[in-house]
């Protein structure tokens, strides 16, 4: 009986991981700046000059915090935009960290990343708010948080790409072929 319970638990874990993997967002869906969103928010998009992340409090002060992580890749800050005096935007290793306050106008950064996936984790006032994150001109909201943006890769014969995800003990597991 113990063995069947472990097998059932393993099958449930594999199912949950496959659901989380299915919610990864394609890098192509981030094309073009989101236009028309209202309220405090993040806007994330790419264009021919690279990747862009902006945030605004829409007239009220808010605390914006997060990270952009490129496991198995590389990430660099190209430019910081309209940063407030005490805001911090820095890179450490494969991660860009953000700790900023904003009210009116847009603050943010332009960046480049190489690799198969980008893990995006953003909060407003310490709360995960996927509905306040707008990606690309289609203004897509991530289905989960943190979320992963993946780049298309040629599929090795007989393999399936599993996007990065958090494992059962909360440790990040980078994307891999299975």
Q: Quick one: average pLDDT of 78-87?
A: 84
Residue 59 pLDDT: 82
Tens of pLDDT, residue by residue over 130-157, are 999 999 999 999 988 899 999 876 666 7
The pLDDT of residue 96 is above 70: yes
Q: Quick one: average pLDDT of 95-114?
A: 92
For residues 106 and 175, what is the distance between their CA atoms, to the nearest angstrom? 32
What is the domain range of residue 68?
Answer: 2-177
Quickly count: other Cβ atoms within 10 Å of residue 98's Cβ.
22
The more confidently predicted of residues 115 and 5 is: 115
For residues 65 and 83, what is the distance between their CA atoms, to the nearest angstrom? 13
For residues 145 and 128, what is the distance between their CA atoms, to the nearest angstrom? 7
Record the pTM. Answer: 0.74
Q: Quick one: average pLDDT of 85-112?
A: 92
| Count of structural domains within the chain | 1
């Amino acid at each position: 009986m113990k063995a069947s319970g472990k097998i059932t638990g393993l099958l449930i874990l594999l199912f949950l991981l496959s659901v989380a993997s299915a919610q990864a967002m394609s890098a192509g869906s981030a094309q073009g700046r989101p236009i028309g969103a209202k309220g405090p928010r993040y806007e994330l998009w790419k264009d021919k000059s690279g990747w862009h992340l902006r945030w605004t409090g829409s007239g009220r002060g808010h605390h914006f915090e997060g990270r952009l992580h490129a496991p198995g890749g590389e990430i660099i800050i190209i430019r910081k935009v309209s940063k407030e005096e005490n805001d911090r935007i820095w890179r450490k290793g494969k991660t860009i960290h953000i700790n900023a306050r904003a009210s009116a106008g847009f603050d943010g950064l332009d960046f480049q990343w190489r690799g198969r996936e980008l893990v995006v984790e953003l909060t407003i006032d310490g709360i995960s708010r996927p509905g306040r994150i707008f990606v690309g001109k289609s203004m897509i909201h991530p289905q989960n948080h943190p979320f992963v943006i993946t780049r298309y890769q040629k599929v090795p014969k007989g393999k399936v790409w599993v996007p990065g995800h958090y494992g059962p003990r909360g440790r990040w597991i980078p994307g891999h072929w299975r």
